[in-house]
Amino acid sequence: MASRRDFLGTVSLAATGLALAPLAACSDESPPAAAATAPAETSFSGTLLKRTIPATGESIPVIGMGTSGSFEVGTDAASRAPLREVLKRFVDAGARVIDTAPTYSSAEDVLGDLVAEAKLRERLFLATKLSGVSGRDEGLAQFEASLRRLRTDRIDLLQVHNLGDTRTQLALARELKQQGKVRLVGLTHYREQAQAQLAQDMRALKPDFVQINYSPVSRAAERTVFPLARELGIAVMINRAFEDGRLFSQVKGKPLPPWASEVGADSWAQLFLKFALSEAAVTVVIPATSKPKNQTDNLKAGVGPVLDAKQREALVAAIG
């Protein structure tokens, strides 16, 4: 498990100026008074922490977003309207990393349309996947469709989804990287049972990124994937930090722990995201939301201190 010192050690030199300012302003000794009491829907302020992608040295904001479920709304105008605001708040806060997949029904189309409409492509780090395909030709056709649906000519991170046809699809992703159509390549899964295979693939194939599930009730990554990612210099993206929303029912009606204000958190969501970020190996976490007020809430987790070892264990105990 990471100490706060370890965590700070992963912040790049380039990002240090940005990252240390909120940490210093929100130290354990003097948490900001307003943050302790403000309701979760109040506006975002501060500077998002950044962490470094080892493969490139580039630093990215630690709060990203997912699109599974939340962006699968098709062409329905009423359902797209709040997503426009979800995206606006995200970009206004300085966040960049958005994860999607061709197999999330209409998510790539909806995201592509909203990004193009607001002319946001250059400000974003777009991650999508080679998903459910077999063989190079199927993978390539799917990738080309993703470019069209996302209305872009390049993908920042192309990931092999759920370790399907891994070697062939990763080789394709690397080929596309050489052609300048993809900047980074990765492997993903969302279940702890897959992490032993993922670890083998990390050693053998050395992707730039892995994406895995991690939360206070799914901690397997601490044993293998996190240490390995640090050893091999692989960036880590966290999915399911809220267990697809189930964590909220586990804490329903429970008051926040008294120490939440010490880390500048005023919601359970922020504590769950800070839990993920308190692992030094974690580069970015991608909560999914369809609601602007929840987006602001999630973004606030990227400012101020993460959890120390005692707070992490207290959070796990509080969930029960």
Ligand X SMILES: NC(=O)c1ccc[n+]([C@@H]2O[C@H](COP(=O)([O-])OP(=O)(O)OC[C@H]3O[C@@H](n4cnc5c(N)ncnc54)[C@H](OP(=O)(O)O)[C@@H]3O)[C@@H](O)[C@H]2O)c1
Binding of ligand X by 297 (CB under 6 A): yes
Among 22, 93, 96, 99, binds ligand X (CB under 6 A): 99
- x/- mask, ligand X, residues 67-86, rule CB under 6 A, reads xxxx----------------
The C-alpha atoms of residue 96 and residue 44 are separated, in whole angstroms, by 15
Based on CB atoms, which residue is closest to ligand X, 114 or 269?
A: 269
Segment near ligand X (CB under 6 A); pick from 23-31, 111-119, 199-207, 287-295: 287-295
- β-bridge partners, 254: none
Based on CB atoms, which residue is closest to ligand X, 176 or 288?
A: 288
Identify the CA nearest to 50 among candidates 2, 102, 95: 95
154-173 residues in contact with ligand X (CB under 6 A) are 161-162
Binding of ligand X by 146 (CB under 6 A): no
Among 188, 278, 283, 311, binds ligand X (CB under 6 A): 188
Among 263, 288, 303, 307, binds ligand X (CB under 6 A): 288
The C-alpha atoms of residue 246 and residue 61 are separated, in whole angstroms, by 25
Binding of ligand X by 41 (CB under 6 A): no
Based on CB atoms, which residue is closest to ligand X, 11 or 160?
A: 160
Count other C-beta atoms under 10 Å from residue 16's C-beta.
Answer: 13
Evaluated on CA atoms 140, 146, 151, 153, the torsion sign reads negative
Among 269, 280, 282, 303, binds ligand X (CB under 6 A): 269
Evaluated on CA atoms 266, 268, 269, 273, the torsion sign reads positive
Q: Taking CA 280 as the corner, what is the angle to CA 100 and CA 70, rounded to the nearest 5 degrees?
A: 20
Among 294, 302, 303, 315, binds ligand X (CB under 6 A): 294
End-to-end Cα separation, the chain, in angstroms: 20
Binding of ligand X by 239 (CB under 6 A): yes
198-227 residues in contact with ligand X (CB under 6 A) are 211
Binding of ligand X by 132 (CB under 6 A): no
Residues that bind ligand X (CB under 6 A): 66-70, 99, 161-162, 188-190, 211, 239-245, 248, 269, 286-291, 294, 297-298
